[in-house]
């Protein structure tokens, strides 16, 4: 038997791709005990594979085929000590080697074989032929239909429905497409500016007019930028708004605008006063990212707190079979104060109580203000709820606590300015991306840092109601921007329970504000526990009686919730009644079917039936907040003595974006 020692492949230009394959072999006969002759089977297989593959490729025709075949075999071969041991074919599922960049591959026609996954002659069952024929006929019909629609579309006439509305209507067979064309922005060399305030009807009218005229303008809201109010007084001689400026020249308020518009001189006036480039002495646009320069006054206890943070032995302790983290004892605090302030023990205890009242420190179990002894306390920044609070930035606010009533009004004005710029006219849809990038929202996130240590007990009943209503609506917007809108039941828990603020030294979630404060610490739907446990200090802020109208003043950023609003202490009751009437005008909130004697209410009414009462009481109560049509239908149903079927529509949890 022959043993292959070497394979020499020569390819020369003179032979024009002729390949000579020389195989030199020596016979090596090995006899076993039975006299049988054995050769090197690996070498024999290698030669046979080589010869058979070359001949097979040669049948495809040409020297190039032989060359490619030999090259492929050499690449796929395994050598040992210079000898060819065999050919290993790569598995079909393994990744194929890539050719280096710049190397061209010549693929012979013999290598382009058709896939044999399906034989040439395939007997398709009758049911298969039926589906294939139907599929072909259906595809042909769809293609013809699309072709005819395209031809008809090319021949359609474009009809302008109304030049004032700028609407183009395309009438296609089987469909109707209406495209709203946005009119071009009027570009003038000058600049339109106007001073405004939040919740001002005249300012809203000026804003709507400028939008309708498609004019670029700069709005300076003195509630958002308080220092610009001084500029307003200097330029106009008063603080009344709106005040419109064309470049540096004062046009006037809404009355002046309406008089020019009614006389037909408005466009001419605008063209004359805005003909030149805006000078430097015109009202400057607000600048993003710069706060007003106010001198914040530090709390008188700040220096003492800094010393205590450095000298107190803050560590984890064990108390009542629990590990209490980052705490210190009352006695340790008293000793540090005695040595640092060189005062008596009684004076040190009074300072400790003052620190507790100002919410720099809290008792770990919330049982007392401050006592000298072994009771454990911790600083506000070490409370376990702090990581969940999104108005906390690393340290407790050390400024003198502001009047919470004034702070609440500032919060409402800033958020109202946000709605005027980034909400639909009905306040049911918000532009969260625009809000997140706005200067108003940046100032809001700075403002809520001042809530850490405010004294909520100083609020009157109406001020407290407005404060918590507005805070809830603002927190819901903030939560959508920071953690996203809740998509499912698990996400809703994080949204309503784990997104929190520090307010007055304690943490409040959306559920805590609504169910714990506004609903007198009642259980939320589908929960077993009350928001605040017995003895919780936050119960001091809870309302003693539930006002059902609060449900129409709270927006949880969903489509089925009421429109988002921000209230004022002077008119909170009338504003809540208006919110309820506005809510029940919606079809997804209330419908009456006389034929079926059915009243359809939003499921929110059922979830909070403990606040509204039984079904008969609910229907009677709702009547006072319906328009004339719905009130007449409902009164007719309740007056004839027949049965009334009350059903509840599903709640739409999709975002109000």
Q: Which residue has the tokens 């008809």?
A: 152
What secondary structure does DSSP assign to 131-155, as a single string?
HHHHHHHHHHHHHHHHHHHHHHHHH
Nearest of 103, 99, 77 to residue 90 by alpha carbon: 77
pLDDT at 493: 81
Query: Are 415 and 363 within 8 A, CB to CB?
Result: no
| 3-state secondary structure (DSSP) of residue 11 | strand
Mean pLDDT of 439-454: 95
Give the mean model confidence (pLDDT) for residues 412-419: 95
Give the whole-angstrom CA distance, residue 137 versus residue 144. Answer: 11
Contact indicator for 437, 445 with CB cutoff of 8 Å: no
Q: Choose among 491, 286, 480: nearest CA to 390.
A: 480
- Which tens digits make up the pLDDT trace of 174-192? 666 666 666 665 677 889 9
CA distance 637 to 597: 7
Give residue 374's pLDDT band: very low, low, confident or very high (50, 70, 90): confident
Residue 489: pLDDT band with limits 50, 70, 90? low
Q: What is the pLDDT of residue 42?
A: 42
Residue 460 confidence (pLDDT) above 50: yes
| pLDDT score of 485 | 86
pLDDT recorded at residue 491: 76
The pTM of the whole model exceeds 0.75: no
Check residue 15 and give its pLDDT.
Answer: 39
In 544-650, beta strands by DSSP E = 590-593, 598-602, 645-649
Instruction: Average the pLDDT over each of 32-41, 260-269, 448-457 and give the range with the smallest value.
Output: 32-41
Cβ-contact 486, 653 below 8 angstroms: yes
The pLDDT score that the predictor gives to residue 640 is 85
Maximum mean pLDDT: which of 74-83, 114-123, 430-439: 430-439
Percent helix, strand, coil in the chain, to 5, is 45, 20, 40
Q: Which is it for strands 217-221 and 192-196: parallel, antiparallel or unpaired?
A: parallel
Question: How many residues are present in the chain?
Answer: 657
Q: 369 pLDDT band (50/70/90 cuts)?
A: confident
Distance in angstroms (rounded) separating the CA atoms of residues 267 and 213: 10
pLDDT in tens, 101-111: 555 454 444 44
Return d(Cα 503, Cα 527) in angstroms, integer.
Answer: 24
Rounded (5°) CA angle 11-13-14: 110
Neighbours of 196 (CB within 10 A): 23
pLDDT at site 358: 93
H helices of 312-368, in order, are 330-341, 345-357
Q: Taken in order 559, 430, 214, 196, is the CA torsion positive or negative? A: positive
Q: What is the pLDDT of residue 56?
A: 41
pLDDT given at position 424: 92
Determine contact, residues 73/21, Cβ cutoff 8 Å.
Answer: no
| 20-37: burial string, b at 16+ Cβ within 10 Å, e else | eeeeeeeeeeeeeeeeee
Q: Please tell me which residue, 532 or 493, carries the higher pLDDT value.
A: 532
Contact 522, 530 (CB under 8 A): yes
Least confidently predicted of 140-154, 162-176, 624-638: 162-176
Phi first, then psi, for residue 578 (nearest 5°) are: -65, -40
Q: Work out the percent of the chain whose per-residue pLDDT is above 90.
A: 57
pLDDT of residue 179: 62
pLDDT value for 172? 57
Q: How far apart are the first and last CA of the chain?
A: 85
Copy the structure tokens of residue 516: 């714990």
Contact 417, 423 (CB under 8 A): no
- Residue 429, CA distances (Å) to 212, 214, 419, 491, 573 in order: 20, 22, 10, 21, 24
| Mean pLDDT, the chain, whole residue set | 80
> What is the mean pLDDT of the segment spanning 361-378?
88
């Amino acid at each position: 038997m022959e043993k292959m020692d070497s394979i020499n492949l020569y390819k020369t230009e003179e032979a024009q791709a002729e390949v000579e394959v020389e195989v030199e072999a020596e016979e090596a006969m090995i006899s076993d005990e039975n006299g049988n002759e054995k050769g090197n089977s690996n070498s024999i297989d290698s030669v046979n594979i080589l010869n058979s593959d070359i001949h097979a490729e040669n049948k495809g025709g040409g020297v190039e085929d032989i060359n490619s075949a030999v090259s492929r075999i050499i690449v796929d071969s395994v050598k040992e000590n210079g000898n060819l041991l065999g050919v290993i074919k790569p598995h079909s599922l393994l990744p194929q080697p890539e050719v280096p960049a710049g190397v061209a591959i010549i693929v012979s026609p013999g290598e382009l074989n058709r896939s044999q996954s399906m034989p040439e002659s395939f007997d398709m069952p009758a049911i298969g032929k039926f589906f294939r024929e139907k599929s072909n006929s259906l595809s042909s019909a769809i293609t013809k239909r699309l072709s005819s629609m395209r031809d008809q579309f090319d021949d359609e006439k474009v009809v302008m429905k109304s030049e004032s509305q700028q609407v183009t209507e395309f009438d296609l067979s089987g469909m109707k497409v209406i495209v709203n064309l946005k009119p071009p922005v009027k570009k003038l060399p000058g600049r339109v500016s106007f001073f405004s305030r939040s919740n001002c009807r005249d300012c809203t009218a000026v804003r709507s007019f400028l939008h309708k005229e498609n004019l670029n303008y700069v709005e300076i809201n003195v509630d958002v930028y308080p220092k610009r109010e001084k500029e307003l007084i200097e330029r106009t001689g008063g603080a009344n708004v709106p005040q419109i400026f064309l470049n540096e020249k004062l046009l006037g308020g809404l009355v002046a605008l309406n008089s020019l518009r009614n006389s037909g001189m408005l466009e001419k006036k605008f063209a004359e006063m805005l003909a030149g480039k805006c000078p430097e002495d015109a009202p400057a646009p607000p600048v993003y990212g710069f706060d007003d320069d106010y001198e914040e006054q530090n709390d008188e206890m700040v220096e003492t707190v800094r010393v205590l943070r450095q000298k107190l032995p803050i560590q984890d302790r064990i108390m009542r079979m629990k590990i209490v983290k980052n705490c210190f004892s009352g006695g340790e605090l008293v000793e540090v104060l005695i040595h640092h302030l060189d005062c008596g023990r009684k004076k040190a205890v009074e300072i400790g109580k003052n620190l507790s009242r100002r919410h720099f420190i809290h008792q770990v179990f919330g049982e007392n203000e401050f006592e000298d002894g072994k009771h454990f306390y911790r600083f506000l920044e070490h409370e376990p709820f702090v990581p969940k609070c999104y108005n906390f930035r690393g340290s407790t606010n050390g400024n003198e606590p502001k009047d919470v009533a004034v702070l609440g009004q500032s919060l409402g004005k800033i958020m109202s300015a946000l709605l005027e710029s980034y909400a639909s006219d009905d306040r049911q849809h918000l532009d969260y991306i625009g809000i997140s990038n706005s200067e108003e929202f940046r100032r809001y996130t700075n403002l809520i840092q001042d809530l850490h240590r405010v004294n909520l007990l100083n609020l009157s009943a109406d001020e407290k109601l407005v404060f918590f209503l507005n805070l809830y609506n603002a927190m819901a917007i903030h939560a959508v921007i920071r953690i996203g809108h809740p998509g499912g039941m698990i996400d809703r828990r994080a949204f309503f329970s784990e997104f929190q603020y520090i307010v007055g030294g304690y943490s409040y979630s959306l559920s805590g504000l609504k169910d714990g404060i506004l609903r007198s610490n009642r259980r939320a739907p589908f929960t077993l526990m009350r928001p605040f446990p017995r003895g919780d200090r936050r119960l001091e802020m809870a309302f003693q009686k539930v006002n059902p109208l609060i449900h129409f003043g709270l927006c949880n950023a969903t489509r089925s919730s009421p429109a988002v609003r921000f209230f004022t202490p002077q008119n909170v009751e009338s504003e809540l009644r208006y919110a309820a009437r506005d809510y029940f005008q919606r079809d997804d909130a209330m419908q009456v079917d006389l034929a079926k004697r059915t009243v359809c209410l939003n499921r929110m009414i059922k979830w909070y039936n403990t606040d509204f009462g039984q079904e008969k009481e609910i229907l009677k109560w709702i009547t006072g907040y319906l328009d004339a049509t719905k009130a007449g239908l409902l009164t007719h149903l309740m007056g004839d003595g027949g049965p009334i079927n009350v059903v509840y529509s599903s709640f739409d949890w999709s975002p109000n974006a």
